[in-house]
Amino acid sequence: MSEKLHKILARNGYGSRREMERWIEAGRLLINGKEARTADRIEVKDKISLDGKLVTLNFDDQQHRILIYNKPEGEICTRDDPDGRKDVFANLPKLQGSRWIIVGRLDINTSGLLFFTTDGELANALMHPSSEIDREYSVRILGDVDGQVLQNLEKGVELEDGFAKFDSIADVGGAGANHWYSVVLKEGRKREVRRLWESQGMKVSRLMRTRFGPISLTRGLRKGAFRDLDKAEAAVLYEAVGMKSKVTSRPLDRLDKKSPRSRGPQQRRRRSSHKR
């Protein structure tokens, strides 16, 4: 039984399908010594190499992990940075035979919810515009915002890369020069939330993503910490994009041993109680 190369690479955790297509187009992949093409299909007997090194691919359905991460401001969402800035992958547990795929990047000055998964098909589905997965943000605006601005942002405005709007805006209070709003949109274009407010002459002083689809940022998960989604949470996330869940359980033992920084308040309290 054959399968498309970019699809099985994604399922094995090398990246999203779109990213695998870009690798193929860049000539980074060979099939039995010949340069791969996007439409190529492979079988178990085929030898696949990436950047000159043979890779092992599992054709069977795999079990995957999904992490929720509370990104601090000041971290970048890329593995390679010429300026040497800290990236969001630095705090994640190490993997063998696969790699973490980021879902829904945030810019360096934005904090909050990020997903990481080893399932490239899930990552592709969550990020694809056709899925219309909504994202919710808490935004702090410097200065007064009148009703016309809010109407414009919900009705929609033209940005340099096309029409954009918020699906909803809720006033959540504030004091002094700063005021907080909760906004929801179904796109993930670069700096879209900031650019929408800036199109109305408003200044965003803080921005945090609080929800992605059906999953909200966990209360008590401090900045720079992560946790695995459990079986039920993962099933809800897969269901949101019409897929069957590939997560069976939360690997607590492996998570706790390799990343003590990720422990939540309850775990820290239990640990403290043993010392008394």
**What is the Cα–Cα distance from 68 to 62, expressed in whole angstroms?**
20
CA dihedral defined by 78, 186, 192, 156, rounded to 10 degrees? 170
107 is catalytic: yes
Least confident piece of the model among 10-19, 52-61, 265-274: 265-274
Residues 82, 205 share a domain = no
The answer on pLDDT for 211 being more than 70 is yes
Residue type, 90: A
Quickly count: other Cβ atoms within 10 Å of residue 234's Cβ.
Answer: 24
Residues 233, 117 share a domain = yes
Which pLDDT does position 249 carry in this prediction?
59
Per the structure, the count of domains in the chain is 3
Which pLDDT does position 12 carry in this prediction?
76
The answer on pLDDT for 250 being more than 60 is no
Inside any domain, residue 61: no
Give the chain's mean pLDDT.
Answer: 85
Inside any domain, residue 41: yes
Sort 220 into a burial class: Cβ within 10 Å, 0-12 / 13-18 / 19+: exposed
Residues 191, 71 share a domain = no
Inside any domain, residue 197: yes
Which pLDDT does position 264 carry in this prediction?
40
In 3D space, the residue among 4, 98, 14 whose CA is nearest the CA of residue 43 turns out to be: 4
* Stated pTM of the model: 0.71
Domain CATH number, residue 204: 3.30.2350.10
Residues 232, 117 share a domain = yes
Could you tell me which residue, 117 or 276, shows the higher pLDDT?
A: 117
The domain in which residue 76 lies consists of 66-103+113-128+225-262
State residue 6 phi and psi, 5-degree precision: -65, -30
Least confident piece of the model among 6-15, 16-25, 195-204: 6-15
Inside any domain, residue 234: yes
Give 265's pLDDT tier (boundaries 50, 70, 90).
very low
Inside any domain, residue 207: yes
- Active site residue: 51, 81, 107, 161, which one? 107
Which pLDDT does position 11 carry in this prediction?
75
Least confident piece of the model among 80-89, 163-172, 243-252: 243-252
Domain CATH number, residue 27: 3.10.290.10
